């Protein structure tokens, strides 16, 4: 068996506790599914450190060492660190403001990245970065995402790339099953065992990465590299549905997950899942699940 891949999470004050735990859960689940230590994770900080929700965490180690993957987890781009303090890892990542820290050091120049802040300001500050509005980005040796559960999908995508999509799908299903107590389809990938046609697989991944700001049908097809009509034909042939219905299903399933696991207001859940109109969200949710979002929250 090959050596475990070492993944270090470098924490800064007010780091996203949800983002950190989401990422760690993926690595734990990979080891659980395979029955092997595929990943070894370390939480790194100089001393006891406080998260964005006021909980303090004792790091597993206080000093940096060579890692295959190093992920910065921060609230903003104001942490007092130096470029030289970062380990020379093949893969560097940032969760929340951690991505902006990488950008400040020029470590995202020439990469596609998801940063925190207004698009206009970021474009002026980081002209060499291809800015993304997606929840997460995985581009060669860089991975970036917003704070919170976006870290889970980012890490799942890394697992899919490095270990294979079948394992990533199995891990995704395990995580959803553990949280909801019954099998549900994940917003990350289709259920394992169902090999998908490449364009469908890519389109599904793009949908999962763009829940809050859904892609238009033409834009989705263009990103996949085929026409809208061709994409619709593929979805009908292989999934017996059309892209728009599949996309809506993913968004509603993600909304259900947030309603069950998060205490954010129902209206904000709708916005987080791409519904600008509360009435539309409520109607679509009831049509799909048989009850309104508020009834879901109360059940």
Could you tell me if 136 and 113 are in contact, meaning their C-beta atoms sit under 8 angstroms apart?
no
In the three-class reduction of DSSP (H, G, I as helix; E, B as strand; rest coil), residue 136 is classed as: strand
Could you tell me if 69 and 5 are in contact, meaning their C-beta atoms sit under 8 angstroms apart?
yes
Q: How far is CA 261 from the centre of its chain?
A: 16
Could you give the CA distance from residue 56 to residue 249 in angstroms, rounded to a whole number?
A: 37
Could you tell me if 131 and 113 are in contact, meaning their C-beta atoms sit under 8 angstroms apart?
yes
Residue 217's beta-bridge partner residues? none
Could you give the CA distance from residue 270 to residue 29 in angstroms, rounded to a whole number?
A: 29
Q: What average pLDDT does this structure show over 166-179?
A: 73
- The owner of tokens 């009509």 is 229
Q: What average pLDDT does this structure show over 263-283?
A: 90
pLDDT digits (tens, 9 = 90+) for 181-234: 333 334 454 444 344 577 888 888 888 888 888 888 888 888 888 899 999 999
Residues 6+ apart with CB under 8 A from 9: 20, 23, 24, 41, 42, 43, 44, 71, 73
Domains and CATH numbers, the chain: 5-157 (3.40.50.880), 196-298 (1.10.10.60)
Q: Rounded mean pLDDT of the chain?
A: 85
Could you tell me if 282 and 293 are in contact, meaning their C-beta atoms sit under 8 angstroms apart?
yes
pLDDT value at residue 9 = 95
Q: Is the predicted pLDDT of residue 77 greater than 80, yes or no?
A: no
Could you tell me if 168 and 176 are in contact, meaning their C-beta atoms sit under 8 angstroms apart?
no
- The owner of tokens 């581009």 is 139
Greater confidence, 83 or 140?
140
pLDDT digits (tens, 9 = 90+) for 12-54: 998 989 899 999 999 999 999 999 999 999 999 989 999 988 8
The H or E element spanning position 21 is helix 17-34
pLDDT value at residue 165 = 80
- How many angstroms separate the Cα of 183 from the Cα of each of 40, 151, 176, 178? 27, 21, 7, 9
Could you tell me if 249 and 288 are in contact, meaning their C-beta atoms sit under 8 angstroms apart?
yes
First to last CA, the chain: 46
């Amino acid at each position: 068996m090959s050596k475990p891949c070492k993944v270090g999470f470098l924490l800064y004050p007010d780091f996203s506790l949800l983002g950190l735990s989401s990422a760690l859960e993926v690595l734990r689940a990979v080891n659980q599914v395979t029955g092997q230590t595929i990943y070894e994770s370390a939480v790194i900080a100089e001393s006891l450190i406080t998260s964005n929700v006021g909980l303090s965490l004792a790091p597993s180690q206080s000093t940096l060492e060579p890692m295959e993957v190093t992920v910065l987890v921060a609230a903003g781009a104001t942490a007092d660190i130096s470029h030289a303090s970062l380990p020379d890892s093949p893969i560097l990542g940032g969760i929340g403001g951690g991505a902006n820290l990488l950008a400040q050091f020029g470590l995202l120049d020439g990469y596609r990245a998801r940063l925190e802040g207004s698009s206009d300001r970021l474009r002026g500050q980081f002209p060499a970065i291809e800015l993304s509005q997606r929840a997460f980005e995985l581009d060669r040796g860089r991975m970036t995402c917003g704070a919170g559960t976006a870290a889970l999908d980012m890490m799942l995508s890394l697992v899919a790339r490095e270990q294979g999509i079948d394992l990533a799908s199995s891990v995704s299903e395990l995580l959803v099953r553990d949280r909801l107590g019954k099998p549900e389809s994940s917003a990350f990938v289709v259920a394992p065992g169902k090999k998908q046609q490449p364009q469908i697989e890519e389109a599904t991944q793009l949908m999962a990465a763009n829940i809050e700001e859904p892609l238009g049908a033409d834009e989705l097809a263009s990103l996949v590299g085929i026409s809208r009509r061709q994409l619709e034909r593929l979805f009908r042939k292989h999934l017996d549905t059309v892209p728009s219905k599949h996309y809506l299903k993913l968004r509603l399933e993600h909304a259900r997950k947030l309603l069950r696991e998060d205490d954010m207001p129902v209206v904000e859940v709708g916005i987080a899942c791409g519904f600008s109109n509360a009435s539309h969200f409520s109607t679509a949710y009831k049509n799909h699940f048989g009850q309104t979002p508020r009834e879901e929250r109360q059940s």
